[in-house]
Amino acid sequence: MPSLQLSLSISPLTDPTLSPQPKPQSLLLVPHTPLRPKHLLCCLFATAKNAIIVEDQNAVVNGRVGADTGVPAEEDLLLPAGLQKEFMPKHVAVIMDGNRRWARMRGLPVVLGYEAGIRALRRVMGLCCKWGIIRVLTVFAFSSDNWFRPKVEVDFLMRLFGRGLKDELENFVRKNIRISVIGDSSKLPKPLQELIMAATETTKNNSGLHLIVAVNYSGQRDIVQACQSIALKAKDGLIEPEDINEFLIEQELDTRCAAFPHPDLLIRTSGELRVSNFLLWQLAYTELFFTQSHWPEFGESEFLEALHSFQQRQRRYGGKNT
C-alpha cells in the first residue's frame, strides 16, 4: 500500500476577544502502519495545549509514535484473563490501611511504611490507566480522626503528600490524569493547600483517570456540610423544603466533582472489616471487598482478586434477582 502523509494546520481553541491570537500549529502525521479505512483519521481536534486525539494509535505525531491520552483505544484494551469489560467497575474506592503495621512487622520505621504505600498507589494508578475501564479512583489518604496521631507522624504525612504531588504532577499531565482533593483542606498547612490548588487547576481538563484523594476527610462531615449548604439556600428562599431530595444532597457532597460519584467497589486492606467514616452516603450500594494484605504489598494480583470477586456478584439495588 502506498505511503500516506497528512499535513495538518491546527488552531488552538481560544477566546476571539484576546490579542494576540496564537498561531496555528502545523503537524505532520505519518502512519506507522498502512491505514485501514476505519483508521482514516477521526481526529482533528486540538485543545489549547495542542493535544491531538488520533484513532490510529500507531500514527507518528510530530515524530512520536502513538498519542498518550490516558485512555487506551477500544482495540488496545488488554484486560487480564477472566475479567469482562462490561462488568468492570467505573469507580473504585480504596481505604489504604496497614502502612504502619507493614513497617513494624519488618522492623522498619513507620515512615518507610507510608513511603511504601505511595509506591502501592502508583501501582494501582498504573493498572487503572493501563486497563482504561476504571474511570475514577478514590483513595482515603488522611482521615479527620488522624490528627490525634503523634505530631511527628502527622507532620511527616503532610510533607509526604506535598512531595508526592510535586513528584507526580508531570506524570499526571503526561498520562492525562485528573486529580481532585476532597475533605476540609482549610486545616492543612498553607503550602500544601497551595500545592493542591495548583495540581487540581493544572489537571482539571484532563480526561483520563480521575484520581480523588480524601485528605482530612470525614463522611459524616461531608453529609453535614451538604445539609448546611442546602439549609442556607432554603433560608435565602432559593429552594423550598419539599425540593430537597437525594439528588440535591448529592450535588453538595464533596464527590460532586466526579462523573461517577458513587463507588462501584470499595477495597479495604489490612484485614479490617469496617468503612471508618469514609464516603458514608456514596457507599449506599457499593460492593465491599476486604483483604488481609497490607496496603504497601497491594499489587496487581490483589487488585485482580478484588475485581474477580466484584464480577461474580449480582448488583440488584434492592430489586429481585435477574
Q: What angle do CA 132, 288, 306 make, to 5 degrees?
A: 45
Give me the sign of the Cα torsion angle 177, 95, 279, 85: positive
Q: Which residue has the cell 466484584?
A: 310
Sheet with strand 6-10: strands edge to edge: 6-10, 25-31, 59-61, 64-65
Q: How far apart are CA 127 and CA 303, in angstroms?
A: 9
b/e per residue, 202-234, with b = 16+ CB within 10 A? ebeebbbbbbbbbbbbbbebbbeebeeebeebe
Q: What angle do CA 57, 58, 63 make, to 5 degrees?
A: 110
Query: What residues are labeled active site?
Result: 97
